[in-house]
Structure 1
């Protein structure tokens, strides 16, 4: 049908705008929207980070849904919403937000599973190097973030391995 489907009740509208304002201030994992197929971050790691933030902020299912959909770049967000709507029954869509979140996670993990390739993350860990203008702690943060993504893809990364990657990737002035 071609008619607008939003139901408006003043109290509901106030509630939604309060949720929107609250959700807007919750950080997106890694500080940037998930790009979809062109993304280098693991989708498992990204979804886990979203879940952690939602729990940390005590979000109920409806605000969690709003937060999750806000975390994706426009094309990936559009596909996510469309696919969740297709997976939902009429009793679930925009009514059962927990079920919508479960459908969203299933869709995301299935659609972007290539981002969870262990060989890819092992290669990224192996190739990570300190950038010229990067401090040693920023470099360590970036390396540990990559190690966490690899672990979310079932790749075992020990602290000793992280130490080896770290030393190997240091700029020559620090490596001595």
Structure 2
């Protein structure tokens, strides 16, 4: 079982690593050179950021085809699922997804050899996953719940929720 926020952040780290490898490969093969028209690149970056922000805001609404919040609210409690798979710790167990890294690498390296700055295209999905993680973290904090993926091994995309454990003080004691 995996927290949704950790799953999304793991995807972001994997895509960023694949993008770094693709840019390095393109730089070594074709040479490191600045873009020919930096103003056009800036406009493209602004357009990508604006589209990702709008898409994330649409997912934060309750509009039928876009809403992620509706899926969060429909998630059943973990206790109703029966036997629960053990939870993973994000930074200790798997901060990186090798499959996703290889998938994006197979896409980004040939693209970067064709056009070096096109290797930045995978960042679009990394920004989308980062927005999804921020949306899930905001929802969790607001509702006092944790969102989990993979409580049923045959359907890892299904979400479930559990209560957030109480916070501890600096000495490790529970708050009064």
Could you tell me the TM-score, scaled by structure 1's length?
0.28
Could you tell me the TM-score, scaled by structure 2's length?
0.28
| Relative contact order higher in (CA < 8 Å, ≥ 6 apart) | 2
